Structure 1
């Protein structure tokens, strides 16, 4: 694996894409060889070549594509990664069942990581939740998530992912959601028994943590064998 991983940012004009461009410049283990957006005005920004979605097949060689785009733009970037034999890190939401099935097929040929949340702390939390659920059979399990007032999905994708971890440990989670102010994201997983309870909490105070987690994953996914990876596998 080379000292500096060559990244292609797909969905570069979005909030996550912009954070990835900004934060990658602070690292010495990766560099960006191209940025892809739906439309392109300026051809080079801060030394990074810009490509429109329609020009995807013209992007330079890369080691990992980092995708935070829209569901309708996901299929072409997955196909390009399979065609070139490169890894894919994606946080694009709203994928349908056929797209999820395509990820499974692609994983026979390339390493793929898709996650609803790229916080390294949440990755650790998910493992702790699974272990707690397995160690506390029969306890009530409740997941309470809080986000800003503009967030529409309820419960959040992260809460559902934590619920899957709880189910893998044998628990049957229930969900509650709060929408208030400008909360970036808080997740409480509570296990309650007779006379006692255990609470596992993660609080996000900056959205940059998600971009940092995606860059962390990309740097560690490059050069891995084909397969489906979880963020917690790359800690």
Structure 2
């Protein structure tokens, strides 16, 4: 069985990861990590997740777990994720990163560390969303400049980054498909007397409300018709199961930076 360490183990995603690892016949829970000041330090990871006693205490010392863990799954926060990945790379283990809100310099460091060890980095590990990445690129190429493109994302009120990492990835896929630079054509909000919509704009709009797990809609608007592609996540388990699939896959790979499209064989 593959030995998994869960980082951010007391968070919403971390709890589901702990529970699902414990349910897996291919994976076993080798460790659980949280920040040194977190109230859950010392608690049993299984009890914290609501899945029953696991005999694995939540700790802040990732390095101490590297002898028993083969892969770290991290859905924590950007700075913590980088700190964790540095330790993982030093110990030549594998990494799965689902953390969003990473800035360009952090992404560059991740790319550098992935030259030493295998890493799956994906803002959304849902199988459905990754299929959408593939489909919408082809749609954008076929529809061309005659169809306006908008991306609308909605998440719960506690989400800290906006737009979501998934929405940004969607916009990047669309921009690349139609040979546009997202930095030049991305529009993240509209207000006031802004004039007509520019032909090559890609709009990215954000909603934060209630307990929405994650909704993403890609709208292609033409004259006389509108095409919408929507993915709605009803449970965090869809992301957690994708991360476990990535963990099973990445431990067999050579060093490099991968994404869920690689894991699913969609490239």
Q: How high is the TM-score relative to the length of structure 2? A: 0.79
CA distance in 2, matches of 1:150, 1:84: 34
Listed as ranges, the matches of 1:46-61 within 5 Å are 46-53=53-60, 55-59=61-65, 60-61=67-68
Q: Residue in 1 aligned with 2:176?
A: 168
Q: CA deviation at 1:178?
A: 3.0
Is the partner of 2:76 in helix, strand or coil?
coil
Q: State the shift of 1:136 in Å.
A: 1.8
Note if contact 2:43-2:58 (Cα within 8 Å) is conserved in structure 1. Answer: no
CA RMSD of aligned residues (A): 2.1
- Which residue does the alignment assign to 2:77? 70
Contact 1:34 1:48 survives alignment (8 Å): no
Whole-angstrom distance in 2 between the partners of 1:6 and 1:164: 34
Structure 2 CA distance for aligned equivalents of residues 75 and 22 of structure 1: 24
2:18 to 18, 21, 27: 21
Equivalence for 1:159: 167
Which residue does the alignment assign to 1:216?
Answer: 245
More deviation in 36-45 or 223-232?
36-45
**Within 5 Å, which residues of 2 pair with 1:8-157?**
8-39=5-36, 40-42=41-43, 46-53=53-60, 55-59=61-65, 60-138=67-145, 139-151=147-159, 153-157=161-165
CA shift in 2, pair 1:152/1:52, >3 Å: closer
Work out the CA distance in 1 between the residues paired with 2:63 and 2:58: 10
> In 1, are the aligned partners of 2:18 and 2:45 still within 8 Å (CA)?
no
Give the match for residue 207 of structure 1: 236
Higher strand fraction: Structure 1 or Structure 2? 1
Give me the TM-score of the superposition, normalised by structure 1. 0.89
Return the offset for 1:213.
1.3
Contact kept, 8 Å, 2:157 with 2:208, in 1: the verdict is yes
Cα 1:88–1:48 change in 2 (3 A) is farther
- Where do 5+ consecutive residues of structure 2 fail to align? 47-52, 181-200
How far apart are the structure 2 equivalents of 1:115 and 1:84? 22
Computing the radius of gyration over CA atoms, which structure comes out larger, 1 or 2?
2
For residues 44 and 122 of structure 1, the distance between their equivalents in structure 2, rounded to whole angstroms, comes to 29
Cα deviation for residue 43 of structure 1 reads 6.5
Q: How far 1:192 sits from its partner (Å)? A: 2.3
| Equivalences, count | 231
Q: How big is the shift at 1:151? A: 4.0
